[in-house]
Amino acid sequence: MAILLTIAPLPTGQRFRPLSASGAEAFGSALLSEPDDAIQLAATLVHESQHHRLGALRHLLTPVPTGGSTVRGRDNPRPVGGLLQR
């Protein structure tokens, strides 16, 4: 099953630090910077595909309670549900 149907370019980031983004509001699409090699491209495509799969699942189920609490797992606080996206 194909998940990513549309890929839009982003400006190239730092070497070995590709930029990519996807969101539940735009299922099937992702923003990607130019990869350094084919392996990096493959890893980024898998990464963004997994975000879409999890996003689709979260639309069907409520895996964690919703609310205003945050969990620290990165430099910035994230909602509890954001831990699943890590």
pTM: 0.69
Is position 21 within any domain? yes
Q: What confidence category does residue 9 fall into, taking pLDDT thresholds of 50, 70 and 90?
A: very high
Strands ordered across the beta sheet of 20-21 = 6-10, 29-33, 20-21
Q: Residue 81: which residues within 8 A CB-CB, separation 6 or more?
A: 58, 63, 64, 66
Q: What confidence category does residue 75 fall into, taking pLDDT thresholds of 50, 70 and 90?
A: low
Is position 1 within any domain? no
Is position 42 within any domain? yes
Is position 29 within any domain? yes
Cα distance between residue 46 and residue 44, in whole Å: 5
Residue ranges in 1-86 assigned as alpha helix (H): 38-60
- pLDDT, mean of residues 9-20: 87
Cα distance between residue 49 and residue 63, in whole Å: 19
Is position 68 within any domain? yes
Provide the number of structural domains found in the chain: 1
Say whether pLDDT at 1 is over 60.
no
Q: Which structural domain range is residue 28 located in?
A: 6-85
Helix (H, G, I), strand (E, B) or coil at 78: strand
